[in-house]
Amino acid sequence: MKKRILATACAAILCLCGCAAGSGAGDAALPADESTVPFVEETLEDSGIDRFVSIPEYKGIELAKEAVTVTDADLKEAYDVDLNQYRIDVPDMEIADYFWVTMDYEGLIDGESFAGSSATNYDLKIGQGTFPESFESQLIGHKQGDNLTIDVEFPEDYDNRDIAGKTATYDITITRVSVALGEPTPDWTRMYFGQSVDEYKAAKLEEVTAELAAGADTKLRTDAWFAVFDQSEVRAYPEDMIETWTKYSQDSYARYAEKLGMEYEDFLAEYGVTEAAISENAKRYVKSYLVATAIMENEGIDEDDQIYRTKKNELLSSSGYASEDAAVANGISSENIDMTVRYYLACDIILDNAKIQGDASAESVEETQEGNQEEPQAESTVTVSETGEEDTQEEYTQEENYTEDEEITEEETYNEDYDEE
């Protein structure tokens, strides 16, 4: 999957600055000693970086790099992702718990559509809880090709307050019924990956190991940033920068609200985001910019230097953009790009001068895959055939092997805004 460094960098910076993952938007508050820092009309260009921030010694910091440990649970999670993506069609079977249903649907409340009321080729796993239970339960027993009309009463505490407590009528066409195998089987790995089970598992082990190693590198970078950021002190906030990053946040939320068919104010209320929280986040953006810029200036680096241009091109390329203009045309602001480059350069400088203990490349793998043999699974009634249709020689296991859908969080709105393909 394509890396989205530019799409996630600002959300990462928010987390690095102290926004705990999963916390409410209103929970993010600057330390008491920074809450009274003045806002000034002076600009960074006119007054210089030392007017606005002081940073600690960033060379020689002691850091620990985590070793990579791949567990059986890690591998099972990776298998489950593939098993749920590459499913087995069972057009003649009645829908039951943990079956996948692909459908077209249109819902109306009092004869009118509402946000999210219709979709085409929507994949729903029964029992996952994506839709209200009264919706999913009425699909059970139906088959591929069925057309049905159902009434669904949304609970009073439903997340979307516009439809909470109301009844919607849905017209549904079931276009596909499929199941996810409980484990990789010889037929399945051969049909979808052109590999034996052993080859598939070996490749997946390598893939998971690489992902965890990348995660260890990211955590090391995070730790390096925290070590400097937390000890840095903002002396004054340039008003022009605060205004820029406040508008950036507001525009991001507004675009995401538009995607969901919601008014800006309704979106903020729905997801618990306050204007006060947006202002606090703007301060965090500005502090991050100031700290990164102070480190760069100490090293004699500015945006005209080759090292800056090289890092920017590297990040743009990793995010799938041939140029900055292409990224801007896709909705990523120049300020976002500049912030991201400065952040990565500052972290590189800290890491290059740090005392790092441990080595993430020293892998401890709990999954040995000893004795793996290509034997058919033995608990089901369906198997993979070369055409992907149901067969009766092998079986699948009806187990709940899905991954929870991510909730929209304050940080995610920054991500989603730039995930447009």
Answer whether residue 81 is part of any domain.
no
Question: Among the three residues 179, 214, 233, which one is the final residue of a domain in this structure?
Answer: 179
Answer whether residue 376 is part of any domain.
no
Answer whether residue 190 is part of any domain.
no
Answer whether residue 396 is part of any domain.
no
Do 345 and 206 lie in one domain? The reply is yes
What distance in Å separates the CA atoms of residue 203 and residue 201, rounded to the nearest whole number? Answer: 5
Do 213 and 357 lie in one domain? The reply is yes
Question: Among the three residues 144, 179, 214, which one is the final residue of a domain in this structure?
Answer: 179
Phi, psi angle pair for 353, to nearest 5°: -110, 10
Start-to-end CA span in the chain (Å): 12
Do 148 and 241 lie in one domain? The reply is no
Do 321 and 277 lie in one domain? The reply is yes
Asked whether the predicted pLDDT for residue 301 surpasses 70, the reply is: yes
Do 115 and 260 lie in one domain? The reply is no
Question: Among the three residues 125, 148, 179, which one is the final residue of a domain in this structure?
Answer: 179
Do 50 and 109 lie in one domain? The reply is no
Residues 6+ apart with CB under 8 A from 327: 6, 316, 319, 321, 337
Do 289 and 144 lie in one domain? The reply is no
Q: Which is higher by pLDDT, 28 or 73?
A: 73
Answer whether residue 383 is part of any domain.
no
Answer whether residue 79 is part of any domain.
no
pLDDT digits (tens, 9 = 90+) for 406-418: 332 333 333 333 3
Q: Which two tokens stand for residue 33?
A: 């000693």
Confidence class of residue 359 from pLDDT cuts 50, 70 and 90?
A: low
pLDDT digits (tens, 9 = 90+) for 153-203: 998 888 777 888 999 999 999 999 999 999 999 999 999 999 999 999 999
pTM of the model as a whole: 0.69
Q: What is the CATH number of the domain that holds 157?
A: 3.10.50.40
What does the pLDDT read at residue 358? 79
Nearest CA-CA partner of 337 in 322, 318, 324: 324
Q: Which two tokens stand for residue 396?
A: 């699948």
Do 105 and 67 lie in one domain? The reply is no
Answer whether residue 374 is part of any domain.
no
Helix (H, G, I), strand (E, B) or coil at 88: strand
What does the pLDDT read at residue 33? 60
Do 106 and 52 lie in one domain? The reply is no
Answer whether residue 275 is part of any domain.
yes
Asked whether the predicted pLDDT for residue 309 surpasses 50, the reply is: yes
pLDDT digits (tens, 9 = 90+) for 103-157: 999 999 999 998 889 999 999 999 998 899 999 999 999 999 999 999 999 988 8
Mean pLDDT of the chain: 82
Do 13 and 58 lie in one domain? The reply is yes
Q: Which domain holds residue 307?
A: 5-71+200-362+410-416
Q: Which is higher by pLDDT, 23 or 155?
A: 155
What distance in Å separates the CA atoms of residue 155 and residue 405, rounded to the nearest whole number? Answer: 20
Nearest CA-CA partner of 261 in 415, 113, 62: 113
What distance in Å separates the CA atoms of residue 421 and residue 416, rounded to the nearest whole number? Answer: 11
Residues 6+ apart with CB under 8 A from 396: 88, 179, 180, 181, 182, 377, 380, 381, 382, 383
Do 120 and 206 lie in one domain? The reply is no
147-153 and 69-70 beta bridge pairing = unpaired
Q: Which is higher by pLDDT, 317 or 36?
A: 317
Domain tally for the chain?
2
Do 216 and 304 lie in one domain? The reply is yes
pLDDT digits (tens, 9 = 90+) for 199-258: 999 999 999 999 999 999 999 999 999 999 999 999 999 999 999 999 988 998 998 888
What does the pLDDT read at residue 316? 95
Neighbours of 84 (CB within 10 A): 18
What distance in Å separates the CA atoms of residue 296 and residue 232, rounded to the nearest whole number? Answer: 14
Ranges 63-67, 158-162, 260-264: which has the least confidence = 158-162
Phi, psi angle pair for 122, to nearest 5°: -85, 130
What does the pLDDT read at residue 228? 97
CB 99 within 8 A of CB 161: no
Nearest CA-CA partner of 331 in 342, 319, 343, 341: 319
CB 322 within 8 A of CB 6: no
What does the pLDDT read at residue 246? 94
What does the pLDDT read at residue 344? 96
